Structure 1
Amino acid sequence: MELWGIFFVSLMPILKVLLITALGTLLALDRFEILGENAAKHLNNLVYFVFAPALVCGNLAKTITLRSMIMLWFMPLNVVLTFVIGTFLGWLLIKITKVPPRLQGLVLGCCSAGNVGNMPLIIVPALCKERSNPFGDVNICYRNALAYTSLSMALGTILVWSYTYYIVSIYSRKLLGIVEVDSTENRVYVAETDPENLSKCSTEAFHTAEDRSKSNDDVKELEIECTHAKVSKRGKIMKQMKIIAEKINLKVIFSPCTIGVIVGLIIGVVPQFRKLLAVDGAPLLVVQDSIDMLGDAGIPAMTLLVGANLIKGLKGSRKQLPLIIGITVVRFIALPAIGIGIVKGAIHFGIIHSDPLYQFLLLLQFALPPAVAMSTITQLFGAGEGECSVIMLATYSCAAVSLTLWCTFFMWLVL
């Protein structure tokens, strides 16, 4: 296929996504009040608890077998590499642009966590539905695309709510100014915070610490003095963060989508369950069909929610132009370039099987905008919420162009 033809095939699914995303943004405007804050919250709950789990469960049950699982072993490693390399590039961005402490967790999160779930699940199947798609038969391509992207979605969900969540939580604790005491060396460390907060812990306590003996009891007493000197509101926030870290973390890792993946994999891999539920003429095929019907509503609902979430960026916040440019460069230039080297190297050494659609998805995972879940995480920790909305608006606007160009190049590369 000629390069112009590949470009046209790449452009069509991106345009479809843009049109539905624009509709979601339009419906979220105050003027229409159709997909406002409450409505978006309810729709998000439906997607989170019903549509997305049904979508991944139904598709994996029909398409994934033990043999295909063995063939897809490189995908988890590939997704992990996108997160790790993105984190390193985000750290470099922080050092180069001197990002303020309150935004460092946001920058690392946006650079590390790509939207390896929703976006491929929207784009790749739509790409297969194009009549002139270069990946062969439409039905086979569509079925394989849903299987590959469903697994990608599960992996992305687990990593966002474990790896990225943990990174943002670390920098949020620094922001709140935790006082740490090293009992082995009898030293007091104060995490990086605002000058106003430092004044809350009186300097007299530190001078007193020098005069006191270096015993552990005195160090503990100093810690209590500094803690009582802090604003009580910050103490409550810290308690809430500890409760979140202890009780919610496992729940978000094992989200409904992840459970749907586990159930779908069990049905697909175990032949007895597959014959009972997923193959033509199965006794319980009606259950599979019902799951498929629910899952079909997932993709348009997800796309509408992406548009509705971007409305927050339009309402304004303090713009961080160097920050936006830096994250855009990391996610749309540096990461895809590195990803090409990794995937092509794996192909050269025979690590990846020869399916062009699978290779295309592995490359695409390096070129995606930040995960939408970053908005939720920043709201949870109260660090950089306004800036996150602006970053999301800017990166997803740039993604309309960058994804089209990268998809064109990736298809040319694997075909």
Structure 2
Amino acid sequence: MGFLELFSVASFPVIKVLLVTGIGLLLALDNINLLGKDARNQTNHLVHYVFNPGLIGGNLAQTITLDNVVSLWFMPVNILVTFLLGSALGWIIIKLTKPPRHIEGLIVGVCSAGNLGNLPIIIIPAICKDKGSPFGDPDVCYQFGMAYASLSMAIGAVFIWTYVYNIMRISSRNVHKECNKSSDSITLEDSRDVSQSIIEEGSENYTSPTKGNVDDAYTLLLSKNESEQKIKVPVFDKIKHKFGMILGNPNFRGIFSPATLGAIVGFIVGVVPWLRRLMIGSNAPLHVIEDSASMLGDAAIPTITLIMGANLLRGKAYM
């Protein structure tokens, strides 16, 4: 394979992505405004909640089987090592550059997560389906490449919300405590003066409570305690309340994002034999479900690429 052939094989997939990205940038211009701020937000939600789960779940269900699931042990280990090495590099950068304290956690989080996201899902189809690709049969390359990228994306989401999120949360909490200490030391003298004046005014206006006031207060307190003893919350309502608190936790919602749930469903369908026979394949009784998920997933890649191009216009304002 000559230099020109190697150059074309290496550059054409990137050119495809750049062309679609450029179209997204044009659609976001003020003169056209088809991908303005509101349109980007709505399309982003559509990709996040509909297209990505269909893409990830469909690819995993078609590729993952009970026989080859054991051979995927290296993926979570590889991603964990990537996060740990990235955190170490971020810590080294902080020690060398000494950035402001409030962005130290952000630097460590960004370095640990790296490029783990939607980018492989965009690049792999362009690489596999290009003529002259060195990765063999285009369909096999696309199927297994997208399955690995989808699984890494789902595992990465779990690590981001269990590891990176807590690093940034702890860092921001420490910065907030330091800010509170400095502000308390500055306003300590003023607060003492204000407290002294309030105490003096209160002592002048203070009157001792009468017997009637004390009796009324005792009666109200007694009736309140009796009413609290009579109220019993059902066990089902307690469980429902606890379950709602768990679901409302942003950390929990981040771990079990739609992409992660799609990966879990696709993994279960691919691994469980009777579910696979029921839904996967052209002869499966419920193959229409797989076809529908694949149809939704096919819309994810061009939509993500268009949004990526439209977001470049927003970055232009900071140049």
Same fold (TM over 0.5): yes
Counterpart position of 1:85: 85
Distance, in Å, in 1 between the alignment partners of 2:20 and 2:184 is 48
* Native 8 Å contact 2:247 2:253 kept in 1: no
Query: Structure 1 pair 271/100, CA: closer, same or farther in 2 (3 Å)?
Result: same
Query: Structure 1 pair 198/23, CA: closer, same or farther in 2 (3 Å)?
Result: farther
5 Å-filtered alignment, 1:235-384, equals 247-316=249-318
Q: What residue identity is the alignment partner of 2:155?
A: L
Query: Structure 1 pair 246/275, CA: closer, same or farther in 2 (3 Å)?
Result: closer
5 Å-filtered alignment, 1:1-400, equals 1=1, 5-175=5-175, 177-178=176-177, 191=178, 193=179, 197=183, 199-200=185-186, 202=188, 247-316=249-318
Q: What residue identity is the alignment partner of 1:202?
A: L
* Native 8 Å contact 2:128 2:138 kept in 1: yes
**1:142-200 deviations in whole A, cap 9, x for unaligned?**
1111111111111122222221122222222233x22xxxxxxxxxxxx3x49973555
| 1:67 partner SS | coil
* Native 8 Å contact 2:105 2:172 kept in 1: yes
Query: Structure 1 pair 273/42, CA: closer, same or farther in 2 (3 Å)?
Result: same
Distance, in Å, in 1 between the alignment partners of 2:69 and 2:3 is 33
Deviation, structure 1 residue 4: 5.6
Aligned-residue sequence identity (percent) comes to 48
Structure with more contact order per residue of length (Cα contacts < 8 Å, sep ≥ 6): 2
- With structure 2 as the length reference, what TM-score do the two structures score? 0.76
* Native 8 Å contact 2:63 2:147 kept in 1: yes
Distance, in Å, in 1 between the alignment partners of 2:247 and 2:99 is 25
Deviation, structure 1 residue 94: 1.0
Deviation, structure 1 residue 18: 1.8
Distance, in Å, in 2 between the alignment partners of 1:70 and 1:7 is 37
Query: Structure 1 pair 316/117, CA: closer, same or farther in 2 (3 Å)?
Result: closer
**1:129-152 deviations in whole A, cap 9, x for unaligned?**
011111111111111111111111
Distance, in Å, in 1 between the alignment partners of 2:166 and 2:139 is 40
Deviation, structure 1 residue 26: 2.9
* Native 8 Å contact 1:24 1:306 kept in 2: yes
Deviation, structure 1 residue 304: 1.8
Q: What residue identity is the alignment partner of 2:22?
A: A
Distance, in Å, in 2 between the alignment partners of 1:203 and 1:13 is 66
Question: Which runs of 5 or more structure 1 residues have no equivalent in the other structure?
Answer: 179-190, 206-242, 318-415
* Native 8 Å contact 2:53 2:260 kept in 1: yes
Counterpart position of 1:187: none
Query: Structure 1 pair 100/273, CA: closer, same or farther in 2 (3 Å)?
Result: same
Counterpart position of 1:184: none
Deviation, structure 1 residue 57: 0.6
Distance, in Å, in 2 between the alignment partners of 1:201 and 1:2 is 74
Distance, in Å, in 2 between the alignment partners of 1:194 and 1:167 is 20
RMSD of the TM alignment (CA)?
Answer: 2.6
Distance, in Å, in 2 between the alignment partners of 1:52 and 1:283 is 25
Greater C-alpha radius of gyration: 2
**1:339-393 deviations in whole A, cap 9, x for unaligned?**
xxxxxxxxxxxxxxxxxxxxxxxxxxxxxxxxxxxxxxxxxxxxxxxxxxxxxxx
Question: Which runs of 5 or more structure 2 residues have no equivalent in the other structure?
Answer: 192-244
Deviation, structure 1 residue 125: 2.3
| 2:282 partner SS | coil
Distance, in Å, in 1 between the alignment partners of 2:108 and 2:124 is 27
Deviation, structure 1 residue 21: 2.1
Query: Structure 1 pair 24/11, CA: closer, same or farther in 2 (3 Å)?
Result: same
Deviation, structure 1 residue 102: 2.2
Query: Structure 1 pair 104/13, CA: closer, same or farther in 2 (3 Å)?
Result: same
Distance, in Å, in 2 between the alignment partners of 1:30 and 1:244 is 42
